[in-house]
Amino acid sequence: MLSMGGLRLSLVRFSFLLLRGAFLSFLAVTMTKLAQWLWGLAILGSTWAALTTGALGLELPLSCQEVLWPLPAYLLVSAGCYALGTVGYRVATFHDCEDAARELQSQIQEARADLARRGLRF
Amino acid sequence: MASLEVSRSPRRSRRELEVRSPRQNKYSVLLPTYNERENLPLIVWLLVKSFSESGINYEIIIIDDGSPDGTRDVAEQLEKIYGSDRILLRPREKLGLGTAYIHGMKHATGNYIIIMDADLSHHPKFIPEFIRKQKEGNFDIVSGTRYKGNGGVYGWDLKRKIISDGVLPCCPGWSLLGSSDPPILASWDYSRGANFLTQILLRPGASDLTGSFRLYRKEVLEKLIEKCVSKGYVFQMEMIVRARQLNYTIGEVPISFVDRVYGESKLGGNEIVSFLKGLLTLFATT
Has residue B7 been placed in a domain? no
Q: Quick one: which of A55, A49, A51 has its CA closest to A64? A: A51
Sign of CA dihedral A65, A71, A73, A77: positive
pLDDT digits (tens, 9 = 90+) for B232-282: 667 888 899 999 889 999 999 999 988 765 334 445 566 667 777 888 888
8 Å CB contact of A111 and B41? yes
From the list B196, B201, B257, which residue is nearest A87 (CB)? B196
Measured between CB atoms, does A122 come within 8 Å of chain B?
yes
Has residue B65 been placed in a domain? yes
pLDDT at A9: 63
Residues of B in contact with A122 (CB under 8 A): 37-38, 41, 74
In DSSP terms, B257 is beta-bridged to: B153
pLDDT at B266: 45
Enumerate residues 226 to 245 of chain B having a beta carbon within 8 A of any beta carbon in chain A.
245
pLDDT digits (tens, 9 = 90+) for A72-91: 999 999 999 998 888 888 88
Has residue B13 been placed in a domain? no
Q: Quick one: which of A83, A81, A109 has its CA closest to B162? A: A83
Strands B141-145 and B250-254: parallel
pLDDT at B96: 72
Strand order in B27-33's β-sheet?
B87-89, B58-64, B27-33, B112-115, B214-217, B141-145, B250-254
For chain A, 122 residues long, give each residue's pLDDT as a single digit of tens. Answer: 445 566 666 666 767 767 766 665 555 456 888 999 999 999 999 999 988 888 777 778 888 888 888 999 999 999 999 988 888 888 888 888 889 999 999 999 999 999 999 999 87
Has residue B108 been placed in a domain? yes
pLDDT at B208: 84
Average pLDDT over chain A, rounded to an integer: 83
- Measured between CA atoms, the residue of chain A closest to residue B241 is A33
pLDDT at B277: 82
Has residue B68 been placed in a domain? yes
Has residue B111 been placed in a domain? yes
Query: Across the A/B interface, how many CB contacts are shorter than 8 Å?
Result: 86
In DSSP terms, B251 is beta-bridged to: B142
pLDDT at A107: 95
8 Å CB contact of B153 and A97? yes
Q: pTM to 2 decimals?
A: 0.76
Q: Quick one: which of B134, B184, B154, B176 has its CA closest to B255? A: B154
Amino acid at A113: A
Burial class of residue A97 (count of CB atoms within 10 Å of its CB; 0-12, 13-18, 19+)? buried
Distance from the Cα of B22 to chain A's closest Cα (Å) equals 33
8 Å CB contact of B258 and A97? yes
CATH number of the structural domain spanning residue B246: 3.90.550.10
Has residue B168 been placed in a domain? no
pLDDT at B279: 83
From the list B147, B154, B284, which residue is nearest A34 (CB)? B284
Spatial separation of the C-alpha atoms in residues A109 and B48, rounded to whole Å:
16
In DSSP terms, B253 is beta-bridged to: B144
Residues of A in contact with B120 (CB under 8 A): 104, 108
Distance from the Cα of B87 to chain A's closest Cα (Å) equals 15
Strands B214-217 and B141-145: antiparallel
Low-confidence ranges of chain B (pLDDT < 50): 1-22, 167-194, 262-266
Amino acid at B280: L
Measured between CB atoms, does B283 come within 8 Å of chain A?
yes
Residue B129: CB atoms within 10 A of its CB come to 16
Those residues with Cβ within 8 angstroms of residue B19's Cβ, 6 or more apart along the chain or in another chain: none
Distance from the Cα of A49 to chain B's closest Cα (Å) equals 25
Distance from the Cα of B21 to chain A's closest Cα (Å) equals 33
Residues of A in contact with B41 (CB under 8 A): 111, 115, 120, 122
pLDDT at A3: 58
**Run of H or E residues at A6:** helix A2-26
Residue B125: CB atoms within 10 A of its CB come to 19
**Run of H or E residues at B113:** strand B112-115
Spatial separation of the C-alpha atoms in residues B196 and A85, rounded to whole Å:
11
From the list A96, A112, A119, which residue is nearest B152 (CB)? A96
Residues of A in contact with B154 (CB under 8 A): 96-98, 100-101
What is the domain extent for residue B78? 27-154+188-285
Domain count of chain B? Answer: 1
**Maximum CA pair distance of chain B?**
57
Has residue B22 been placed in a domain? no
pLDDT at B265: 42
